[in-house]
Structure 1
Amino acid sequence: MIARISGSIILLLLCTSIFSQVAITNLKTESLTNPLGLDHPQPRFSWQLTGTQRGIRQAAYELEVRQGAINGKQVWQSAKQSSDSSVLVSYKGAPLSSGETYFWRVRVWDQQNKASKWSDWAYWHTGAFDPGFWKAKWIGVAKEEEGKPSPVLRRSFSTAKKKIRSAHLYITSLGMYEAQLNGKRIGDAYLSPGWTSYDKRLQYQVYEVSGLLQPGENVTGVSLGSGWYRSYIGFAGQNNFYGKELALLYQLKITYSDGSTDWILSDEKWKSSSAEVRSSEIYHGETIDNNRMLKGWAAPGFDDRNWAPVKLMPAYTKALVATQNEPIRKREVLQPVKFITTPKGEKVLDFGQNMVGWVRVKVRGNKGDTISIYHAEVLDKKGNFYTENLRSAKQLNQFVLSGNGLEEFEPKFTFQGFRYIKIEGLSKDPDPADYTAYVLYSDMQKTGEFETSNPLINQLQKNIQWGQRGNFLDVPTDCPQRDERLGWTGDAQAFYRTATFNFDVRAFFSKWLKDLSLDQLSNGAVPFVVPNVLGEGAVGSAGWADAATIIPWQQWVVYGDLRTLAEQYASMQAWIKFMSSKSNKNLWNTGFHFGDWLFYRPDDDTDGRAAITDKYLIAQCFYAYSTQLTMQAAEVLGKTEDAANYRLLLNEIKRAFQQEYLTPNGRLVSSSQTAYVLALQFDMLPESMRQQAANRLAENVKSYNNHLTTGFLGAPYLCKVLSRFGHEDLAFTLLLQETYPSWLYPVKMGATTIWERWDGQKPDSSFQNAGMNSFNHYAYGAIGEWMYEHITGIQADPAHPGFKQFFVRPHTGGKLTYAKASLHTAYGEMVAGWKLEDDRLIMEIVVPPNTIATVFCPATSAADISESGKPLLGRTDLEPLGAVEGTIPVRIGSGRYRFECRN
């Protein structure tokens, strides 16, 4: 019996050890899963630890990289590295080759020095490290047809009679492209190659296509569209901004099992024609004529004898770069929720959600019938289809029927912002089942969720997320529907932090920031929009150009992305230099500025209290903020002399602010909410005067019957400042305010995205000025940052970036009975939630492995706190710290926790 018991205990201990062993999952290269086409010589690896026990930490790791195959040549073996780093760990092996696949795996040792098993293998495929990699020629059509129909280009080829090991296509275009191989679409990306500053750099993409090849004859085909390259773009009706002629660069590498290769290249052997896409524009939509369809044109057996030879095009001479961010893909799929016949007799379908993408149509009709699909965000107060706010953008897709039974239409090279579509050209009412809406946006991983006991707040959160989906279409656009859709820098910097809670935007913004620095003028001025299609005069506005400093710093705080910070540092410095050059004794009071854009304007402004915040006061605040961030970046990057110089400059900027804008009694010359918010947020006032200034801000809010009056630059910080200076209840009151102007007013009016204006639709259901009235404009969604950080309490620790360490400091208020949020970080999912039960606050916390959290429990004494039903006092596994402002901080490692705070 004793022997049996001992054996059982040994078996139990063995099973427990195995069960509790740390495992590795979610391997990523440059934050992407098995990416194809990375052209950085030292890509970075990330992985996550999993396990059931609390307090999991990594003490060491070992990485292995092999070339070509899992059993291929070893190009790096890191040996055991004593380090807790598991995010963005740089490759340090032998030089990488262009166009090659590399496999990697990792194992770790935990806090007890127990080794994990090796992870599964992950891989990445390299792009081109030098221009000599490119063997293909640029090709285009010899003579473009009238109306600019989308050209189609094809070439047939044969593969060797050998087993194919792999096949990789390297492709890009001037304009957009869609590629096929043997009649099947290549990849699931849309609107490729994406939008960069084409006059400075162009992205290419890589696809693995071995599964599309067949023995014997093969055919490759590519359709081209005008895209951002030559569509109408900007405000002045300009088209052909980057160039007039579309062009293709195509390079297919086939590798056989014996190691030999074939190359299929874009060259003189290709032919061209046009097909069913007769016109395609970003703003105006697309016309597809099925009578011009060339069935099977990209597959073997098609007769192309009447096709024209292609023309060799001048080589693109700027930088060809691998795509580093997620492509645009189809994500959600929506069906109509209602069919409407409007008072005007219009036939309208309502998809129930303002979105970005396009509609796929199934229809029957006669040869030559034209079906017109118009797109709109809203109906007017009478219930009619409303498109005045689109300005000159037509947002019109037209489909010409062939009459051959059931026909399906779907755009290729455009996108629309809409909730409603109006259908013309049918002989009977549309069948909603024949219309499917596809939501398109950059394929960012969804990372955050936020929920409370208040349904209006929950809808606001949904609106914020949908606004981000609709405007993160390769660049952070300001609106997706009218004749604009540009990468406004002010909107991006205001919303950036909220964006990081909802989706993983590290790669998305790293890509965009490169274009920002490339479009930055030689004097350091940053454009209003990136890519800059507005010209060299549209630069240098405070609060807009500061995207050059705010976003790189936040990338470091949120993702621990040191490389982006280092790459953008020169751009940050240049922006500071520009502001300094425009200043007199460090007072920046020159130049054009948008100011507190779209701030609240009362209908009856009789006392002048809502006068525009002094634009130069705003400029001085952002001058200081950018200088502070650049100083902090210098410290992180080890540039101590720079940091010291910026510290001195920062003091002078604040001194100039106080001399110009602050009275001896502590009042600001602009008495607006935004003036006080920015001065307090950026610490522009002497510390002794800050609380009284915050009290003045609170009185201002109360004098407007507890409403905000802020615009794009003040609104993101309003609740943050109120909470910081003890006006917690007022911050909640503002969030929960339901009448105009407020965050919940659009929600009460039925909004499903964030509006450009506080009153895009007025209480009487009429609209604001149609010249600028987008109903999908994410900037005011920046309140999401305060919701995540303050209500549920999830806060990054800049001293330990990337959420390696973080805080959970929730706040109750606003009659909320519960709130909860989750956030997928590079280390895993964290959860922070609370609920009120009688005299107790119950907090549910999840801390990812290899991280540490400090939880602030609202209590006056540790004796009032329990965790998982056990008193906090006397515990050896938790670490309570000294009381802080009515809370007891508790330091915890990974795992699930349930805290109860009494009284």
Structure 2
Amino acid sequence: MTSTSKWAVAGPTVEYASCPLGLDVARPRFTWPLVAQEPGRVQTAYQVRVATDAERLSSADVWDSGRVGSSESVLVPYDGPALAPRTRYHWSVRAWDNEGRASEWSTPTWWETGLMEKSQWSASWIAAPESLGTSARLRRGFSVADKQITRARLYITALGLYEVHLNGERVGNDRLAPGWTDYRRRVQYQSHDVTELIGSGANAIGVQLAEGWYAGTVAWYGTRNYGKRPALLAQLEVGYADGTTERYVSDASWTAARGPIVAADLLHGESYDARSETPGWTTASGFDDSDWSPVDVLDTAGTRPGAQVVAQVDAPIRAVRELAAQTVTEPQPGIFVLDLGQNMVGSIRLRVEGPAGTTVTLRYAEVLNPDGTCYTANLRKARATDTYTLRGDGLETYEPRFTFHGFRYVEISGHPGAVPASAVTGVVLQTDAPFALDFATDVPMLNQLHSNIGWGQRGNFLSIPTDTPARDERLGWTGDINVFAPTACSVMESARFLTKWLTDLRDCQTPEGIFPDTAPHLGRVGGAPVGDGVAGWGDAGVTVPWALYQAYGDRRILAESWSSIVRWIDHLRASSRELIRSAAVYGDWLNIDDETPKDVIATAYFAHSADLTARIAEVLGENADPFRELFEDVRHAFRTAYVTEGGRIHGDTQTAYVLALSMDLLAEADRGPAADRLIQLIEARDWHLSTGFLGTPRLLPVLTAAGRTDVAYRLLHQRTFPSWGYPIERGATTMWERWDSIKPDGTFQSEEMNSFNHYAYGSVGEWMYTNIAGIAATAPGFRTLRIRPRPGGEVHETRARFTSPYGPVTTHWTDRDGRFELEVTLAPNTSAEIWLPVRTAAGTRYEGAEYLRPQDGCLVFGAGSGTSRFSCPRGQENSSSARL
């Protein structure tokens, strides 16, 4: 049949990215969301073509899949000849729908391989002489042949941080590259297309290095954790029309010198003396580097770094938006405080004019003291201070490049005169992956909570999932991401970021199978020995891959983690006593005076990890029986040791019941009584929670599963301590580490541990998006969904739009004047069950859906792609206090 524009491919990606440059994946996977004007469209077949040039796609000189009868349109693997390094591959796809209609071929797009293997590197690691310090500049002039240039690529990385310029122009817009990995094991390189920056004749490349995580301060571990000084690895390849290629690599021909950066530390800040600038140092003409020092070539010095050099997996860190200062105050003479209105992560851009030698000092804070000065005690040893010394030749602009801060307020001292609000702009950094969810209700507090969750993820997803971007820590705590990963995947495309971090985690797994508390891992943390295998922390090695699989349907993530998961399970078994574990150093971290026995937590998580491992085995085609049997045995041990008649659990805490219920550890007869006891404990605290990091993400889902969504809403809407609304009532724009980082009397919690940007309690987002927006996957990757909004509490209207791997899913519902109205739009190639919160069909109107059955006090409909609309009366039996 003829093709039609009503059925088309939209936004195709390779390995989650549009036009990825420098991909070192042997069999990259294609995803192509589909669009259709007609409802009920599904794919029945596809055809992928790959060529060395867009003009050759019709002949597909690399690979043609042919027509493949399949409904798969997400993460479909390339299955052609082996890919060559440093090659751009163009591709296009078309799809057939369930009426046999073929789409047009998608607009040609591409991906490009990187170097792919160690043998393709001919560059050497180089470093500035130690006498020049750790913030040196490296440069090299080179001559390019007088021939037509067809392509130029720069493959580059550093031990530390780098920023590169070519012929006076900044290369790319990445920040804090190459990111943090265990530099003893691997370092990520970046690929840049620099064709437009190269010309025939004289050229020059210049690289500014800084300590970063490699040689700078990391948490309480001090400096030089991986090495003494930054190093550079760079390979510039210029291709000509005649088919030849020239390489210009980091080697002994480079020179080094000090620059205007006096010091640069991720925790403490950057000091910059503009009087030491040397204009033109990255250009070829007119710059004299005769007094620059020869670099040290680390290979020939016998100190070649042992790290494996791999292509970057996660999206780069970039400046994604800017914030204008809203107010300026002067709490002390000559001390000015600017409020950006949002707790953010990044740096500032300062505009200043004054005499040469004037030093302006910038300090950063998340909150203010009562007197209006910056509160910095919670930063502990992190100085979080930048200084800029003016060169004195008019208006100057300064933006720190090799540090970042978590802050809402900027304190400026030493400024020549009063500071106008226009003097400072906040430059927001984040991993540059797309946000996936728009969510809004008619309850302003819940909208702010959603915003706080997103800003917390934005600020803490910088190369690794950190625990706080402000104080002297910023570690990749496994417990935090264990609880937050499902929410993270709803808010933002997190597949690439967390895939990279799981590699970091596997890199530091011990030979005994122990996953540590943080990754990358540097040693003792929180008083615990290396690799203590803490319950709820080490289990992230199982729970995070599973969360990614649920969100994206990515089996490769499970396969890459499988052997490490099995080793972790072996460790849990070996470190238990009759299947009871006690390795739960942190317990239900930061609970509200409701400490759950740590062996209860550890044994519950042992069972949970065994259960997930059995499920993962089934997905991968491995033998699941041993892990299924282990789960049954640990569950039996848990019941025997901790559960008494009537569903009472040892410790009798909210978290004890939440874990036991959500991890399926109770006999069926005990589930109802245990849920009732949980609600009694909540009521005893005047309808407030007492859970910490491990209990909180599971609390509201357990209440809903028990038929008490009314109690879940009651907790969600609380504004008094402890609750999600309490920080918002006090002006929070990100999630807090503690329920009372600012106490009810206005004083601060302990400065020893008090972050105002800490995403763990943002894990409530998963419940909000599943039950208020009503969007949940019933198959990995959202191929099939359950749309079940649960109206209740103060919420009477909600709009949501979630970008699934298959395309957008939208819901809009209102619950007013005794009537519930719902509109749902599904992407092609997906389907959903849509649950209406009514018990009888009387008065119900619907279109674009098929009635299926009554179930659980609801009417259930089936729908394919397109828009479905529903309208139904809401009687007393369906009120928000009913068990929906």
TM range (shorter): over 0.9
Separation in 2 of the partners of 1:527 and 1:18?
Answer: 54
Alignment of 1:599 with 2:591, yes or no, is yes
Q: Which residue of 2 aligns with 1:269?
A: 253
Give the alignment partner of residue 547 of structure 2, picking from 539, 550, 554.
554
Q: 1:220 to 1:360 in 2, by over 3 A?
A: same
Q: Which residue of 2 aligns with 1:137?
A: 124
Separation in 2 of the partners of 1:503 and 1:695?
Answer: 35
Look up the SS of the partner of 2:616 in the other structure: helix
Unaligned runs of 5+ in 2: 875-884
Separation in 2 of the partners of 1:86 and 1:796?
Answer: 17
Separation in 1 of the partners of 2:370 and 2:4?
Answer: 62
Alignment of 1:586 with 2:565, yes or no, is no
Look up the SS of the partner of 2:295 in the other structure: strand
What residue identity is the alignment partner of 1:210? T
- Does the CA-based 8 Å contact 2:143-2:202 persist in structure 1? yes
What residue identity is the alignment partner of 1:190? R
Separation in 2 of the partners of 1:204 and 1:103?
Answer: 23
Tell me the C-alpha RMSD between the 2 structures.
1.4
Q: 1:592 to 1:688 in 2, by over 3 A?
A: closer
Separation in 1 of the partners of 2:21 and 2:486?
Answer: 28
Separation in 1 of the partners of 2:584 and 2:689?
Answer: 25
- Does the CA-based 8 Å contact 1:377-1:775 persist in structure 2? yes
Separation in 2 of the partners of 1:550 and 1:149?
Answer: 39
What residue identity is the alignment partner of 2:800? A
- Does the CA-based 8 Å contact 2:329-2:338 persist in structure 1? yes
Q: Which residue of 1 aligns with 2:882?
A: none
- Does the CA-based 8 Å contact 1:161-1:215 persist in structure 2? yes
Q: Which residue of 1 aligns with 2:769?
A: 788
Separation in 1 of the partners of 2:37 and 2:131?
Answer: 64
- Does the CA-based 8 Å contact 1:365-1:405 persist in structure 2? yes
Task: Name whichever of 483-492 and 531-540 sits farther off.
Answer: 531-540
Offset at 1:859?
2.2
Offset at 1:234?
2.4
- Does the CA-based 8 Å contact 1:540-1:593 persist in structure 2? no
Q: 1:223 to 1:345 in 2, by over 3 A?
A: closer
1:858-893 CA deviation, whole Å, 9 max, x = no partner?
22234543224xxxxxxxx63321211111211111
In the superposition, the TM-score normalised over structure 1's length comes to 0.94
Q: Which residue of 1 aligns with 2:71?
A: 84
Give the alignment partner of residue 255 of structure 1, picking from 218, 239, 264.
239
- Does the CA-based 8 Å contact 1:621-1:679 persist in structure 2? yes
- Does the CA-based 8 Å contact 2:260-2:274 persist in structure 1? yes
Separation in 1 of the partners of 2:359 and 2:523?
Answer: 36
Residues 430-469 of structure 1 correspond to what in structure 2 (within 5 A)? 430-469=419-458
Residues 26-175 of structure 1 correspond to what in structure 2 (within 5 A)? 26-67=11-52, 70-71=55-56, 74-145=61-132, 148-175=133-160
Q: Which residue of 2 aligns with 1:349?
A: 338
Give the alignment partner of residue 526 of structure 1, picking from 489, 512, 515.
515
Give the alignment partner of residue 570 of structure 2, picking from 553, 577, 581.
577
What residue identity is the alignment partner of 2:780? P
- Does the CA-based 8 Å contact 1:20-1:53 persist in structure 2? no
Q: Which residue of 1 aligns with 2:275?
A: 291
Offset at 1:592?
4.8
Q: 1:548 to 1:345 in 2, by over 3 A?
A: same
- Does the CA-based 8 Å contact 2:134-2:229 persist in structure 1? no
- Does the CA-based 8 Å contact 1:344-1:384 persist in structure 2? no
Q: 1:184 to 1:454 in 2, by over 3 A?
A: same
Residues 305-316 of structure 1 correspond to what in structure 2 (within 5 A)? 305-314=290-299, 315-316=304-305
Q: 1:878 to 1:143 in 2, by over 3 A?
A: closer
Separation in 1 of the partners of 2:849 and 2:756?
Answer: 48
Separation in 2 of the partners of 1:254 and 1:52?
Answer: 46
Separation in 2 of the partners of 1:507 and 1:201?
Answer: 17
Offset at 1:801?
1.2
Alignment of 1:196 with 2:181, yes or no, is yes
Separation in 1 of the partners of 2:628 and 2:294?
Answer: 63
1:752-799 CA deviation, whole Å, 9 max, x = no partner?
1000000000122110000100000010011111100111211111xx
Offset at 1:340?
1.1
Give the alignment partner of residue 227 of structure 2, picking from 243, 246, 253.
243
Separation in 2 of the partners of 1:665 and 1:503?
Answer: 42
Residues 727-746 of structure 1 correspond to what in structure 2 (within 5 A)? 727-746=708-727
Give the alignment partner of residue 662 of structure 2, picking from 676, 681, 696.
681
Separation in 2 of the partners of 1:154 and 1:815?
Answer: 62
Give the alignment partner of residue 859 of structure 1, picking from 818, 838, 844.
838
Look up the SS of the partner of 1:167 in the other structure: strand
What residue identity is the alignment partner of 1:717? R
- Does the CA-based 8 Å contact 2:771-2:789 persist in structure 1? yes
Q: Which residue of 2 aligns with 1:471?
A: 460
Offset at 1:198?
1.1
Give the alignment partner of residue 616 of structure 1, picking from 579, 599, 607.
599
Separation in 1 of the partners of 2:385 and 2:109?
Answer: 44
Separation in 2 of the partners of 1:339 and 1:255?
Answer: 53
Alignment of 1:507 with 2:496, yes or no, is yes
In the alignment of these two chains, the number of paired residues is 863
Alignment of 1:563 with 2:556, yes or no, is yes
Look up the SS of the partner of 2:701 in the other structure: helix
- Does the CA-based 8 Å contact 1:57-1:850 persist in structure 2? yes
Q: Which residue of 2 aligns with 1:838?
A: 817
Give the alignment partner of residue 893 of structure 1, picking from 860, 864, 879.
864
Give the alignment partner of residue 648 of structure 1, picking from 629, 632, 645.
629
Look up the SS of the partner of 1:679 in the other structure: helix
Offset at 1:156?
1.1
Alignment of 1:415 with 2:409, yes or no, is no
Give the alignment partner of residue 812 of structure 1, picking from 780, 791, 797.
791
1:275-332 CA deviation, whole Å, 9 max, x = no partner?
1111100110000000111111001221111111111013332311101110000012
Give the alignment partner of residue 366 of structure 1, picking from 355, 365, 380.
355
Q: Which residue of 2 aligns with 1:542?
A: 535
Alignment of 1:823 with 2:784, yes or no, is no
Give the alignment partner of residue 704 of structure 2, picking from 723, 728, 733.
723
Q: 1:701 to 1:345 in 2, by over 3 A?
A: farther
Give the alignment partner of residue 850 of structure 1, picking from 811, 829, 832.
829
Separation in 2 of the partners of 1:711 and 1:143?
Answer: 47
- Does the CA-based 8 Å contact 1:99-1:126 persist in structure 2? yes
Separation in 2 of the partners of 1:246 and 1:516?
Answer: 23
What residue identity is the alignment partner of 1:340? T
Look up the SS of the partner of 2:382 in the other structure: coil
What residue identity is the alignment partner of 1:581? A
Separation in 1 of the partners of 2:240 and 2:443?
Answer: 60
Separation in 1 of the partners of 2:522 and 2:323?
Answer: 33
Offset at 1:124?
1.0
Give the alignment partner of residue 782 of structure 2, picking from 777, 782, 803.
803
Alignment of 1:883 with 2:854, yes or no, is yes
Separation in 1 of the partners of 2:584 and 2:708?
Answer: 34
Separation in 2 of the partners of 1:852 and 1:665?
Answer: 41
Look up the SS of the partner of 1:699 in the other structure: helix
Q: Which residue of 1 aligns with 2:675?
A: 694
Separation in 1 of the partners of 2:812 and 2:178?
Answer: 41
What residue identity is the alignment partner of 1:184? E
Unaligned runs of 5+ in 1: 1-13, 602-609, 869-876
Give the alignment partner of residue 663 of structure 1, picking from 626, 644, 662.
644
Separation in 2 of the partners of 1:726 and 1:780?
Answer: 23
Separation in 1 of the partners of 2:298 and 2:843?
Answer: 76
Offset at 1:682?
0.5
Offset at 1:268?
1.2
Separation in 2 of the partners of 1:775 and 1:102?
Answer: 45
Q: Which residue of 1 aligns with 2:201?
A: 216
What is the percentage of aligned positions where both structures have the same residue? 42
Q: Following superposition, which runs of at least 4 residues in structure 1 exceed 6 angstroms of deviation?
A: none
Separation in 1 of the partners of 2:5 and 2:478?
Answer: 48
Separation in 1 of the partners of 2:850 and 2:440?
Answer: 29
In the superposition, the TM-score normalised over structure 2's length comes to 0.96
Separation in 2 of the partners of 1:847 and 1:804?
Answer: 10
Separation in 2 of the partners of 1:397 and 1:341?
Answer: 19
